[in-house]
Amino acid sequence: MWLSRGPVPDLAGWWRRLYADRLRSGFHPLLLEYEDDSLEPTPVAASAPDPSLFPRGTDAAVDVADVMGAEGVPRRDAAPGPVAGSAPDPDARAWGLAQRLCREGSVRSLALVEVGRSADLPVAVGWRGPANHVDAAGLTAVLRSWEDRFGIRVVGFGHSTLHVSVASPPTSYARAQALGREHYALCPDVFHEYPEADWDAYPSELMHLGDWRFWWD
């Protein structure tokens, strides 16, 4: 895994270029609030990413040789298949979220991680953001399911915050209710953070949201 040493100029633009090149390079870009955001990667044998991928002439362009991954995580495996129906392109939704996070200042750093799909990012970098409730492997298992069913893409991490884009939200209230229960099982703090949240209204919101934000205390 490569980490920027500080804020990256034109962060959204770099994310977009690296994301577009991920299938060729085998490295997936990840936006971070801080450059060492609760990460504990497990070292494994790997090749350094192509130096031409990285921004040059900035504080971010340093120490490219630090490459890490996670044992048991498939490398360069097949990306999830297309989401059924006429849903928006998952990659376009991911780009839209990346732009917004960068514009709002919610992220400022960048990592490149050798994974085949974005759902594997938490376990690949040993992310400890939700450690009080679920480990990285458990989180990745849930994200893989959502990636297949709802076209989610993991776009960014904060210290204990996860940002994912959603291309194919549930289309029925019953499915949205079931998804709401999955959200609560994974991250009860979604409702603790927003005590005014309405259990009856939440499924309706899930049917229209293009991204989800999770926060763990």
Q: How far apart are the C-alpha atoms of 217 and 213, rounded to whole Å?
A: 13
Q: How much is the mean pLDDT over the chain? A: 80
The predicted structure's pLDDT at residue 36: 65
Q: How far apart are the C-alpha atoms of 165 and 155, rounded to whole Å?
A: 7
CA nearest 154: which of 98, 202, 109, 203?
Answer: 98
Whether 86 shows a pLDDT value over 80: the answer reads no
Q: How far apart are the C-alpha atoms of 149 and 170, rounded to whole Å?
A: 9
Tell the residue number behind the tokens 């849930």, with chain if given: 142
Q: What percent of the chain has pLDDT over 70?
A: 73
Quick one: average pLDDT of 85-111? Answer: 90
Q: How confident is the model at residue 189 (pLDDT cuts 50, 70, 90)?
A: confident
Quick one: average pLDDT of 151-177? Answer: 96
Handedness of CA 123, 110, 30, 180 (dihedral sign): positive
Q: Strand 152-157 to strand 28-32: parallel, antiparallel, or no bridges (unpaired)? A: parallel
Report pTM.
0.80
Whether 77 shows a pLDDT value over 70: the answer reads no
Q: How confident is the model at residue 157 (pLDDT cuts 50, 70, 90)?
A: very high
In this structure, of 26-40, 43-57, 68-82, the range with the lowest mean pLDDT score is 68-82
Max mean pLDDT range (42-46, 75-79, 93-97, 128-132): 93-97
The predicted structure's pLDDT at residue 5: 73
The predicted structure's pLDDT at residue 167: 98
